[in-house]
Amino acid sequence: MSGLTLSSTAERIYWLGRYLERSETMARLVIVHANLLIDMPKRLPLGWRPLVEITGSASEFAELYDEMNEKTVCRFLINDARSAGSLLNSLSWVRENARTVRGFMPLRAFEYFNELYLLGREKLTAPLSRSRRLQGLTEVVEHIQRIDGFMSANMLHDAHWNFLRIGQFIERADMTTRTIDVGTGTFWEGAIDLEPFADVQWRSVLRSLFALQSYNTTVGEPISQEPVIDFLLHDSRLPRSVDYGLMSVRNNLRSLPRHERPLRAINRIRRSVAQTDVRKLSAADLNLFLDECQIQISELHDEIRKTYFDFKPRRRPSKQRQKKPQKQPQKQPQKQSKPQAAAARRS
Amino acid sequence: MSIDWRRYRPEPFWDELITAKGRARTGAGNLCRVLSQLSDEELLEHRTAAELAIRSMGITFTVYTGKGSGSIDREWPFDLIPRLIMKREWDAVSEGLKQRVRALNMFIDDVYHDQKILQDEVLPREYIEKSKDFRAECVGISPPHGVWSHICGSDLVRDASGQMYVLEDNLRVPSGVSYMLENREVMKRVFPELFEEYFIHPVDDYPDQLSECLRSLSHLKSPTIAVLTPGIYNSAYFEHAYLANAMSAQLVQGSDLVVGRDDCVYMRTIEGLVRVDVIYRRIDDVFMDPEVFNADSMLGVAGLMRAWRAGKVALANAPGCGVADDKVIYTYVPDIIRYYLNEEPLLPNVPSYRCVEKEQRDYVLDNLDKLVVKPANESGGYGMLIGPNAAKKERDKFARQILANPRNYMAQPMLLLSTAPTLVDMHAEPRHLDLRPFILSGSSTFVTTGGLTRVALRKGSTVVNSSQGGGSKDTWVVDLE
C-alpha cells in the first residue's frame, strides 16, 4: 500500500491484539484457578467468584445465572454465547478482526487465526468435563503462543505491527493488575482465614503468568504477597509485568505519528506504578491502587482511540471514581450489514 | 490415452478450438497436440498443481449464504485448457468495443445534458425518464473527458456460425478482471511448457492501465486514489483488495471516508485526515450516499454526491451511468452508435425484441418457448426466463409480468453459445462459454487483451456465473505472424 494506515485498519488490528491477549490470559486464569481450588479448603464458599470479579462483570453474570458455582462461572467465562466476554466470543472477535486486516499480515496468518477459532469451538463447547476443559484451554493457549511467535518472526514491523503490539501489551498490563487482584484474595475476605493458604495462592498467580520459574531464579525471597506483587508490577525483565507491558506500549507508540498525548498518559501510569511501594500499602489501599491502575490504563486506551481511531471530539469520560472498570469491549464496529454488502454487488 | 480429439464432438455448436470435422482450428494445432500427448497421470498432476496454486495464492470468491450463517470463501474454479483467440480477430473486436463504449459514454453525457437524442426521437423519451437508473441528481454534471463509464465489462458470445455478438454492456460496477489476471498467473505456473509454443499477448498491464485511467480523472500529478468496497462480505471483495494492492491505492469502506464542510472527501488515517482525489467505487449508486439515495445505506459516505457535483472528487464509474446499462436501452445501442459517431457498428448486438412495442411483444408472447426473456435491470443472470428450459407455469408467469410491465422486459432468441474443450475426468468435453473484456476510458481508451472467459461447467448449461456453477479459463490472444 502507499504507506498510509487507515484508522479503521489500525483499530481492527489493535483489537485483534487485545482479544488475542485477553483470550490467552482468560484461558490460563481458568486453568490455574481450577488447580488452586484443589488445594483450598473444600468448604470455601464462592470459590469461583474471583474470576467473575476480575473481569468487572459481576452484574452481567447476575443477570444470566442464579447461582455462582464452577459450572456457571466456567460457562460464563468460556462458552456462553450470551456473555460478551466469554473466551469463545473473544476468539470470534479475533477472527473477525483478522479477516478484515488479513491484507496487512503474512499470508498464512489469517489461516492461523481461523484455526484458533475453530479449535476453540471444537474443544470448548458445552458441556465441558474438567479434563476436557483443561485440555481445550491448554491447546488454545499453546496455539496463541505459536501465533504470537509466527507474527513476531514474519510480520512486517510497520505501523500495523505497532498497533497489534500496543493492543496486546495494553491488555497484558491490564490483565496482570487484575490477576494480582485475584491473588490478594479480597473477594474471599471474611469467608475463611486465608492466611495459611497465602503462599499457595501467590504461587498459582505466578504460575498463571508463566512467572513462577522466573521468580524462583531471580527474587531472593520466599513466595509471599509483597515480593510477588513487587515482581509483577515492577520487574522490567518479566514479559508479563505491568512495567514491561507499559514500556512495550511506549516503544511501539514512539514509531507512530502524533503520539504526544498517548505517551503522556503512559508516563503518568508508569510514574504512579514506579512510585508506589506495595510493601507499605494496607490491603484496602492496595486494592484501590490496582483499581486506579486499571482506570489509568483505560484512560490510555481512550487517548489512543481519540488520537488514531476516532477523531470526533467527545465528552471527556467522567473523572469520578468508578468502581472496578469493566473489561473494555470493542466498540461494535460499524455493523456491516451482510445483506446490504452482498446486495451491493453488480454482475 | 487421455484427451482424444477424435472422440471430441462439439456439434451442433461452434467450438473455439475444434472444427465440426474434429480438426484443430487455425492456431490451435500445437495446443491440441501438446494436450493429447499428456498421460492421465500428467493431466492429474497439472490439475492438482493448479488447485494448489489457487489455494496458496488465495484466489477466492465469496458466496453469501444468507440466514445469519454468513458467507464462505470458495476457491476459484479454473479449467486447465485455455481458450484461444487469434490476434487479428481480437484487433477487430477491440475496435468494435472502443467504438461502442465511446458512443455509450456520449449517450450518457447527452442524457444528463441536452438530451438531443430524445429530441431527435431516436429513442422514446419515456424510456429514459422512467428508467429506474436515471438519476436526476446527475443532470448538468460534466465529469472529466465527458466520460461516465470509465470501466466497462462487456459480455461477448459467439453463436453457432462463429459470429461474435455483444450480449450486454456492464457499465456500472463490472467485476472479474482480477480473475483474468490470476488465471494467467496460474497457467504460467502450471503449464510453462505451453507458453513456448506460442506468442501469447500478456495481460498483466491492466492494473497499470487502470491506475493511469483513474489518474487522468484528476488534474493533480499524483492524486490519491482509493478503492471503495462494501466490505469483506461482498462477493467481489477479493478483487477489490487485489486491485487496490496492485495499484498501490487505499482500500476503503464508507466508514473510512468523510466529506468536509469544504466538500472535499477525506479518509481517516492514523496521521489524521488525508484528502482523496479519485475514488474507484465498487458499490452501487443507491448505496453510495445516504444523503441522496438510500438513507439506510451503511456502506456509503454522506455527502459524496455533493463532493462529486462540486468537482472535488472524481468517481469511477460516475453515478447515473447505469442508465445506459438497461437491457431495453441495449436494444438501441446500434442506433446510438450511428447517431453519435455517424458510423456503422463494428460489433453486432444479439437480435432482440422490445416488449414495449406491440408487434414485437406479441411475437415474444407467442414464442416464449423459444426465447430468453430478460428484465431490464438485473445482473448476474438473475430474474431471467430461459424459455426452452422453462415449465409452462413459469412461462405463463412471465407472460403476465411482461403484460403488466412491458418496459421492464426484452427478449432474445436462444443463442447456441459456442463451446471450448474443458477437462472433465481426464478427458475433454465441450462446455459453453462467454468472454468479458474490460474497456477503460479516461483521457484515452484501453481494451484488455482478451478478457475473462467464463465457462459453464455443467453439461449443457449456459449459465457461466461463478455463483451458479460457472468456472473460468485463461484466454490467449495469439499472434501467428
Q: Which residues contact B290 (CB under 8 A, 6 or more apart)?
A: B296, B297, B300, B302
A257 interface with B at CB cutoff 8 Å: yes
In this complex, the residue of B172, B298, B380 whose CB is nearest that of residue A334 is: B298
- Asked if residue B21 belongs to a domain, the reply is no
The confidence score (pLDDT) of residue B101 equals 98
CATH code of the domain covering residue B235: 3.40.50.11290
Q: Do A103 and B245 touch (CB under 8 A)?
A: yes
Task: Measure the CA dihedral B8/B14/B20/B25, to 10°.
Answer: -90
A5 interface with B at CB cutoff 8 Å: yes
Residue type at A75?
R
- Asked if residue B95 belongs to a domain, the reply is no
The residue of chain A nearest to residue B245, with distances taken between CA atoms, is A1
pLDDT at B291 over 80: yes
The residue of chain A nearest to residue B288, with distances taken between CA atoms, is A344
In terms of residue numbers, what domain contains B399? 353-413
Q: Which residues contact B348 (CB under 8 A, 6 or more apart)?
A: B163, B165, B166, B334
Domain boundary among B288, B316, B344: B316
The total of structural domains in chain B comes to 2
The confidence score (pLDDT) of residue B65 equals 59
pLDDT at A336 over 50: no
Let me know whether B270 and B358 are in one domain. no
pLDDT digits (tens, 9 = 90+) for A165-187: 999 999 999 999 988 887 776 66
Domains of chain A by residue range: 7-313
For residues B184 and A343, which has the higher predicted lDDT (pLDDT)? B184
Q: Do A334 and B255 touch (CB under 8 A)?
A: yes
Rg for chain A (alpha carbons), in Å? 20
3-state secondary structure of B232: coil
Residue B27 to chain A, least CA–CA distance (Å)? 32
- Asked if residue B213 belongs to a domain, the reply is yes
Mean pLDDT of A255-269: 95
Residues of A in contact with B270 (CB under 8 A): 5-7, 10, 159, 256-258, 308
CATH code of the domain covering residue B395: 3.30.1490.270
C-alpha B463/C-alpha B382 separation (Å) is: 10
- Asked if residue B242 belongs to a domain, the reply is yes
> In this structure, are residues B89 and B347 in contact, taking their beta carbons and an 8 Å threshold?
no
The confidence score (pLDDT) of residue B364 equals 93
Mean pLDDT of B70-81: 79
Mean pLDDT of B133-162: 95
Domain boundary among B361, B382, B413: B413
The residue of chain A nearest to residue B235, with distances taken between CA atoms, is A342
In this complex, the residue of A1, A258, A308 whose CB is nearest that of residue B250 is: A1
A103 interface with B at CB cutoff 8 Å: yes
- Asked if residue B275 belongs to a domain, the reply is yes
Structure pTM? 0.85
Let me know whether B362 and B294 are in one domain. no
pLDDT at B66 over 70: no
Let me know whether B211 and B308 are in one domain. yes
C-alpha A256/C-alpha A58 separation (Å) is: 37
A332 interface with B at CB cutoff 8 Å: no
Let me know whether B211 and B263 are in one domain. yes
C-alpha B459/C-alpha B9 separation (Å) is: 13
User: Which of B22-36, B58-72, B151-165, B438-452 bottoms out in mean pLDDT, i.e. has the lowest?
Assistant: B58-72
pLDDT digits (tens, 9 = 90+) for B383-423: 888 888 889 999 999 999 999 988 889 999 988 899 999 99
pLDDT at B1 over 70: no
pLDDT at B2 over 60: yes
* CA B70 to mean position of chain CA atoms: 26
- pLDDT-derived band of residue A335, with 50, 70 and 90 as boundaries? very low
Mean pLDDT of B34-56: 89
Domain boundary among B316, B343, B369: B316
Closest CA to B117 of B341, B441, B273: B341
The residue of chain B nearest to residue A304, with distances taken between CA atoms, is B270
Residue A37 to chain B, least CA–CA distance (Å)? 39
Residue A263 to chain B, least CA–CA distance (Å)? 15
Three cell numbers at A234? Answer: 515492577
C-alpha B70/C-alpha B307 separation (Å) is: 34
The confidence score (pLDDT) of residue A321 equals 45
- Asked if residue B300 belongs to a domain, the reply is yes
Preceding omega of B12 cis (within 30 degrees of 0): yes
For residues A323 and A164, which has the higher predicted lDDT (pLDDT)? A164
Q: Which residues contact B224 (CB under 8 A, 6 or more apart)?
A: A2, B250, B274, B275, B276, B277, B278
Let me know whether B286 and B217 are in one domain. yes
- 8-state DSSP, B91: H
Three cell numbers at A75? Answer: 460457562
Q: What distance, in Å, lies between the first and last C-alpha atoms of chain B?
A: 32
Q: Do B232 and A100 touch (CB under 8 A)?
A: yes
The confidence score (pLDDT) of residue A317 equals 41
C-alpha B301/C-alpha B254 separation (Å) is: 5
pLDDT at A115 over 70: yes
Q: Which residues contact B367 (CB under 8 A, 6 or more apart)?
A: B387
Let me know whether B221 and B292 are in one domain. yes
Instruction: Please name the helix (run of DSSP H) or strand (run of DSSP E) that holds residue B333, with its range, or none.
Output: helix B333-341
User: Which of A1-5, A100-104, B244-248, B334-338 bottoms out in mean pLDDT, i.e. has the lowest?
Assistant: A1-5
Q: What is the ipTM of this complex?
A: 0.80
Q: Do B298 and A99 touch (CB under 8 A)?
A: no
Residue B246 to chain A, least CA–CA distance (Å)? 9
